[in-house]
Amino acid sequence: MAALWRRARPPPASGLCRTLRALSGKNEYDLLVIGGGSGGLACAKEAAQFGRKVAVLDYVEPSPQGTAWGLGGTCVNVGCIPKKLMHQAALLGTALKDAQHYGWNISQPVHHTWKVKYFNIKGSFSDPHTVRGLTKAGKETVVTADNIVIATGGRPKYPVHVAGALEYGITSDDLFWLKESPGKTLIVGASYVSLECAGFLTGLGLDTTVMMRSVPLRGFDQQMASLVTEHMESYGTKFLKRCLPTKVEKLKSNRLQVTWKNADLDKEETDSFNTVMWAIGRAPDTKTLNLETVGVKTNSETGKIIVDASEATSVPHIYAVGDITEGRPELTPTAIAAGKLLAQRLFGQSSELMDYDNVPTTVFTPLEYGCVGLSEEAAVQRHGSDNIEVYHAYYKPLEFTVAERDATQCYMKMVCLREREQRILGLHFIGPNAGEVIQGFALGIKCGATYPQMVKTVGIHPTCAEEVTKLHITKRSGLDATVTGC
Ligand code: FAD
Ligand code: NA7
């Protein structure tokens, strides 16, 4: 009887799908995208423009602290957008201070109030054309497609050997969704995520400490990175250098007591905080995708998916874009552009590949740091120090003068090849609106701009960006690089 019932029962959904596919020889969709973030949505929307049948799966696994959000991925929910708005909130605090120097009467003291606005199928491969998804309620859905794009991004890492880290700590996934101010905060790590968050928390008036085990902003130009942290220190952010946390405990007062090892003093130290945030890097969650079953290769160290220049994985018709991919910049515009170009190649008879060279970016610390192209270290490594010329300048933004703001870290440098044409290899800028400044110059550098062309470019006066067009002191000369007068 039981055997009869088993035979009469319809096959499970995934089996049904496979059966239908086997019968018709067709998949349901032209394209299935796993991950509805920056890269995935851009790819799906572009493919739909070509009239293709497209499906997107997106599922947000709640953070260990229980924070969850809806469609859109990291950037709009827990990344670029809330971060930039918090940065703006902090900048407004500084602007309020400046305003008094410009003659505005502002009744003191000015305080920030923490405000929050709330705005929610986990995909796993069962064969190379079939993805099985579970809704939050546990309902199974099965989707088959000719082409599949994996765009599942990454999530913040927790330190594995620090007792209490997972239990008591938060990450950037939680910070932007807190209902109450985080209070006195410790941020561990010296990545851009760490420094940006520490910057805006300090700017909002919170007692904020960054704990770093080695250098700040690894991978970025290190002279610029030092200026960024130097400015943050003068702005009020505390730094615990060459320190590694060992445990986090909850005190009766509900505060979190953190113990760490100070490598310079070779001793253990402790302090208590209201909030401990881990910003020690991000990791792809490839385990749940079941990639081994279908043969998609990953880097065993990073867990990221290995792709070629056309974003193809080791399995034909399976592609990957965005943060999940090995060796790509972890940035929203690169994920979007890569997703769009992939859809155009798949369905629009295009052969254009994503060009990952000279991608501009900005670290939104209190004094912003924008850059495009090579760091000075990378240029030296690639071309040799005799073959590069670095033009640099310390400058004072006009708006800092009336407000009597210190401009010690307002600095820029342009790294060029030294041969006759002096092609620009990298541009680095610390100062107000660095993202806005660097974006335009990035076009020139993408087009192969040279130093002579840059200095022939007429500046817009009075701006900070005009100083880029006036750079003339080389580092090699040893001359004072401080800009004076107009
Ligand atoms: P994501 O946007 O992360 O999207 C992946 C989606 O897939 C998520 O919704 C995820 O929940 C979902 N998913 C995962 N697994 C599955 C599964 N098995 N099934 C279904 N769905 C799944 N970049 C910038 O360019 N500028 C910035 O200023 C900037 N600031 C940042 C600040 C912070 C704090 C952080 C954390 C990141 C920031 N970034 C910034 C980086 C940027 O957010 C990422 O590079 C970008 O979001 C990557 O896009 P993606 O499509 O690869 O992945
Ligand atoms: P990154 O750039 O991977 O940086 C992680 C930071 O956290 C970095 O300062 C690390 O120090 C530090 N770190 C890493 N592990 C630990 C532990 N266990 N304890 C203390 N500190 C630690 O972070 P993001 O994810 O923010 O950046 C991702 C991408 O953005 C990156 O690939 C760039 O392309 C830009 P370290 O320098 O290793 O000593």
Last residue of a domain, which of 280, 296, 328?
280
- CATH no. for residue 430? 3.30.390.30
Q: What's the pLDDT tens digit per position in 444-466?
A: 999 999 999 999 999 999 999 99
Rounded distance between C-alpha atoms, residue 278 and residue 95, angstroms: 29
pLDDT given for residue 114 in this prediction:
63
Residue 165 CA to residue 385 CA, distance in Å, equals 43
| Within-domain flag for 358 | no
Q: Residue 174 domain-assigned? A: yes
- Cβ pair 168, 248 in contact under 8 A: yes
Average pLDDT over residues 174-197: 97
Give me the pLDDT at residue 271, please: 98
297 in the same domain as 442: no
Cα separation, 379 vs 244, in Å, equals 31
**39: CA distance to ligand 2 center in Å?**
22
Among 190, 208, 178, 204, smallest CA distance to 273 is for: 208
Is 84 a member of any domain? no
Confidence of residue 220 (pLDDT cuts 50, 70, 90): very high
**Mean pLDDT for the stretch of residues 83-112:** 86
Answer yes or no: do 40 and 148 share one domain: yes
Is residue 220 lining ligand 2, measured as CB closer than 6 Å?
no
Which position has the higher pLDDT, 121 or 353? 353
- Per DSSP, the three-state class of 132 is strand
Return the pLDDT at 119.
23
What pLDDT score was predicted for residue 1? 29
Domain match, 135 and 224 both: no
**Shared domain check, 137 and 29:** yes
- What's the pLDDT band for 62 if we cut at 50, 70, 90? very high
Asked whether 230 lines ligand 1 (CB < 6 A), one says: no
Q: How far is CA 253 from CA 169, 188, 256, 274, 347, in A?
A: 16, 22, 9, 10, 60
Residue recorded with tokens 């905080």: 273
Residue corresponding to tokens 């319809």 = 10
What average pLDDT does range 74-83 have in this prediction? 93
Give the Cα separation of 299 and 304 in Å (integer).
Answer: 6
Question: Which atom of ligand 2 approaches the CA of 159 most closely?
Answer: 18
Percent residues over pLDDT 90 in the chain: 81
Report the nearest atom of ligand 1 relative to the CA of 285: 15
Rounded to the nearest whole angstrom, what is the distance from the C-alpha of residue 443 to the centroid of ligand 1? 25
Report pLDDT for 8: 30
- How confident is the model over 242-282, as pLDDT tens digits? 999 999 999 999 999 999 999 999 999 999 999 999 999 99
The two structure tokens encoding residue 178: 């807190």
393 with 305, same domain? no
Catalytic residues: 461
State the Cα torsion 139-143-149-151 to the nearest 10°.
-10
Q: What is the reported pLDDT for 318?
A: 98
- Same domain? For 169 and 270 the reply is yes
Query: Are 290 and 276 in a shared domain?
Result: no
Domain holding 306, by residue range, is 14-71+120-156+283-347
The mean pLDDT of the chain is 91
pTM beyond 0.85, yes or no: yes
Q: Is 174 in the pocket of ligand 1 (CB under 6 A)?
A: no
Question: Helix axis angle, 222-235 relative to 192-203, nearest 10°?
Answer: 20
The CATH number of the domain holding residue 216 is 3.50.50.60
pLDDT score, position 24: 62
Same domain, 175 and 140: no
- Residue 236 CB–ligand 2 contact under 6 Å: no
Burial of 149 (C-beta count, 10 Å sphere; 0-12/13-18/19+):
buried
Q: Residue 172: CB within 6 Å of ligand 1? A: yes
Residue 294 lies in a domain: yes
Query: Same domain, yes or no, for 310 and 231?
Result: no
Q: Is the predicted pLDDT of residue 28 greater than 70, yes or no?
A: yes
Confidence of residue 136 (pLDDT cuts 50, 70, 90): confident
pLDDT given for residue 21 in this prediction: 57
For residue 356, give both structure tokens: 């990952």
**Amino acid code (one letter) for 211:** M
pLDDT band, residue 12 (cuts 50/70/90): very low
Nearest-Å Rg of the Cα atoms of the chain is 26
The pLDDT value given to residue 116: 34
Residue 320 has pLDDT above 60, yes or no: yes
User: Are 56 and 40 within 8 A, CB to CB?
Assistant: yes
Note whether 146 and 317 are within 8 A (CB). yes
pLDDT of 23 > 60? The answer is no
How does pLDDT run across 343-392, given as a tens digit for each residue?
999 999 899 999 999 999 999 999 999 999 999 999 999 999 999 999 99
Interval between CA 367 and ligand 2 midpoint (Å): 21
Structural domain contains residue 95 = no
The span from the CA of 100 to the CA of 388, in Å, is 45
Query: Is pLDDT larger for residue 337 or for residue 349?
Result: 337
Indicate the number of domains in the chain: 3
Same-domain pairing of 253 and 402? no
Q: Is residue 297 domain-shared with residue 266, that is, in the same domain?
A: no
User: Residue 486 — pLDDT band, cuts 50, 70, 90?
Assistant: low
Tokens 């305003």 belong to which residue? 99
* Interval between CA 259 and ligand 1 midpoint (Å): 31
Residue 484, in any domain of the structure: no
- Residue 102: count other Cβ atoms within 10 Å of its Cβ: 10
Q: Which region among 82-91, 119-128, 217-226, 472-481 has the lowest average model confidence (pLDDT)?
A: 119-128
274 burial (CB, 10 Å; 0-12 / 13-18 / 19+) is middle
- What's the length of the chain? 486
Q: How many helices (H) and strands (E) does the chain have?
A: 16, 21
Q: Per-residue pLDDT tens for 432-447?
A: 999 999 999 999 999 9
Is 270 within 8 Å of 261 (Cβ atoms)? no
**Prior bond to 156 cis, omega within 30?**
no
Angle of helix 192-203 relative to helix 80-101, nearest 10 degrees? 40
Q: 322 and 296, same structural domain?
A: yes
| CA neighbours closer than 13 Å in the CB half-sphere of residue 331 | 15
Q: Residue 216: inside a domain, yes or no?
A: yes
- The band of 312, judged by pLDDT with boundaries at 50, 70 and 90, is very high
